[in-house]
């Protein structure tokens, strides 16, 4: 069979090669398919014939075995074959019964399996339905949450905008009120300064009038002390009012690089006449050796001016003080030291401390003004005592 199959394959391949140039590819493919179908049919027929030949060979072997025996042997063989056949039939019947029982059991199991399957399908469908309902509810809830979130965001945005507008409005109102109060305060301070200048001028005018020869030498000699007292009190009142102005004047620091040469030139020009009049000697720092400082120059000038006025009043006529500048960590320190010999060591410690009192020209108000101005500059003031004498210091951060 295998040899015939190989030969048929060779013939089919050869016919395909020979017929392809004449019939073309399509017809050659149809021809080869027909040969293949014929081969399949022929193979099935030959297989059937081979099976029949095998059965005939078994029958011939059985007949050939029986031909060489007598009747007794044949009967014995027939009985043996019958017994064997009966045994096989009994086996077949038993197997059929077992198969039927197994089939019945299998049918029961299949029925139960079908029931379980139906239950699972029903449960699965119910779960799917519940899942669909849950998804629908979840979708609705998400939509509601999204709407709520949008409303919340809108409310928060509106609240932030309203808060911002309110803050801007409050800030604007605060700035307007601050500007109004500052303007009113400045106008009041300007009027107060005008009155101070008028008071000092009027006192000087009165003193000059009293000194005229029309009153006579005797009258002038008798009233000279009163005239000087009036003039001095007017000066002290002017100084006191000016200190009040510096203590309460609202100002916003405008920081620039301080020009020490220009600043001390102004201070010397302003206070030298009074120092000469009071016979007070002052030691000034070297402008070139003072560290650079970025601050409000007018505030620094006012602080040093108040320091000088306090020193002049404290050391008294014939006294001496010294102003020095030194660097301490990240700060510039201006130190005013009383170096006069007429003050005892015990009194030196109290030289620049503010003492309560009611007299005009007292240093308490100046010290308060200096402290406030130093705070505006970001620093402060302090008191001390060193080997040279009592010291008052203004600490200004660099």
Q: What DSSP string describes 20-71?
A: HHHH-HHHHHHHHHHHHHHHHHHHHHHHHHHHHHHHHHHHHHHHHHHHTS-H
Q: For residue 318, give Cα distances in angstroms to 128, 338, 388.
A: 109, 12, 17
CA 351 from chain centre, in angstroms, equals: 53
What value does the mean pLDDT take over residues 245-259?
71
Give 390's strand partners: 385
At residue 291, the 3 state secondary structure works out as coil
Nearest in space to 260 (alpha carbons), one of 292, 283, 284:
292
> Does residue 326 contact residue 395 with C-beta atoms inside 8 Å?
no
| Measured CA angle at 186 (ends 182, 189), to 5 deg | 140
Domains annotated on the chain, with CATH: 2-68 (no CATH), 256-397 (3.30.565.10)
E strand intervals along the chain: 256-257, 281-283, 294-295, 320-328, 331-338, 380-385, 390-397
Lowest mean pLDDT among 32-41, 105-114, 158-167, 327-336: 32-41
The pLDDT score that the predictor gives to residue 349 is 47
> Does residue 390 contact residue 338 with C-beta atoms inside 8 Å?
yes
Question: Measured between alpha carbons, how far is 188 from 222 in angstroms, rounded to an integer?
Answer: 40
Q: For residue 113, give Cα distances in angstroms to 100, 105, 107.
A: 19, 12, 9
pLDDT in tens, 278-327: 888 888 888 888 888 888 888 888 888 888 888 887 777 888 888 888 88
On the question of pLDDT at 217 being above 80, the answer is no
On the question of pLDDT at 11 being above 50, the answer is yes
Looking at beta carbons, which pairs linking 47-51 to residues 24 or more positions away fall under 8 Å? 47/1, 50/1
The pLDDT score that the predictor gives to residue 366 is 72
Question: Cβ neighbours of residue 5 under 8 Å, at least 6 residues apart?
Answer: 39, 43
Question: Cβ neighbours of residue 98 under 8 Å, at least 6 residues apart?
Answer: none
pLDDT in tens, 52-109: 888 888 777 777 666 666 667 667 767 777 788 788 888 888 888 888 888 887 777 7
At residue 379, the 3 state secondary structure works out as coil
> Does residue 31 contact residue 19 with C-beta atoms inside 8 Å?
yes
């Amino acid at each position: 069979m295998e040899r015939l199959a190989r030969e048929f394959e060779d013939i089919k391949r050869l016919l395909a090669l020979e017929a392809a140039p004449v019939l073309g590819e399509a017809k050659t493919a149809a021809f080869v398919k027909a040969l293949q179908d014929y081969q399949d049919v022929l193979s099935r027929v030959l297989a059937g014939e081979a099976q029949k030949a095998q059965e005939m060979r078994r029958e011939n072997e059985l007949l050939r075995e029986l031909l060489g025996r007598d009747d007794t042997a044949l009967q014995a063989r027939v009985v043996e074959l019958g017994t064997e056949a009966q045994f096989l039939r009994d086996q077949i019947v038993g197997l059929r019964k077992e198969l039927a029982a197994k089939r019945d059991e299998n049918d029961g199991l299949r029925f139960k399996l079908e029931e379980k399957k139906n239950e699972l399908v029903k449960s699965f469908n119910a779960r799917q339905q519940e899942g669909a309902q849950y998804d629908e509810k979840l979708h609705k809830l998400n939509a509601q949450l999204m709407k709520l979130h949008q409303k919340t965001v809108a409310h928060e945005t509106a609240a932030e905008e309203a808060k911002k507008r309110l803050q801007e409005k409050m800030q604007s109102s605060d700035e307007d009120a601050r500007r109004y109060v500052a303007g009113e305060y400045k106008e009041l301070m300007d009027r107060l300064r005008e009155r101070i200048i008028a008071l000092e001028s009027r006192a000087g005018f009165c003193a000059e009038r009293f000194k005229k020869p029309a009153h006579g030498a005797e009258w002038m000699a008798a009233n000279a002390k009163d005239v000087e007292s009036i003039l001095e009190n007017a000066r002290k009142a002017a100084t006191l009012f000016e200190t009040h102005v510096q203590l309460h004047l609202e100002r916003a620091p405008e920081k620039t690089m301080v020009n020490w040469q220009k600043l001390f030139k102004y201070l010397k020009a302003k206070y030298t006449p009074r120092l000469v009049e009071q016979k007070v000697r002052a030691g000034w720092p070297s402008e070139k050796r003072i560290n650079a400082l970025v601050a409000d120059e007018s505030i620094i000038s006012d602080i040093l001016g108040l320091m000088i006025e306090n020193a002049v009043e404290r050391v008294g006529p014939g006294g001496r003080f010294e102003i020095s500048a030194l660097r301490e960590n990240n700060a510039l320190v201006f130190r005013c030291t009383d170096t006069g010999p007429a003050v005892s060591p015990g009194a030196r410690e109290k030289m620049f401390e503010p003492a309560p009192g009611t007299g005009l020209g007292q240093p308490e108000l100046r010290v308060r003004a200096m402290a406030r101005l130093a705070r505006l500059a970001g620093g402060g003031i302090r008191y001390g005592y060193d080997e040279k004498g009592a010291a008052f210091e203004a600490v200004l951060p660099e």
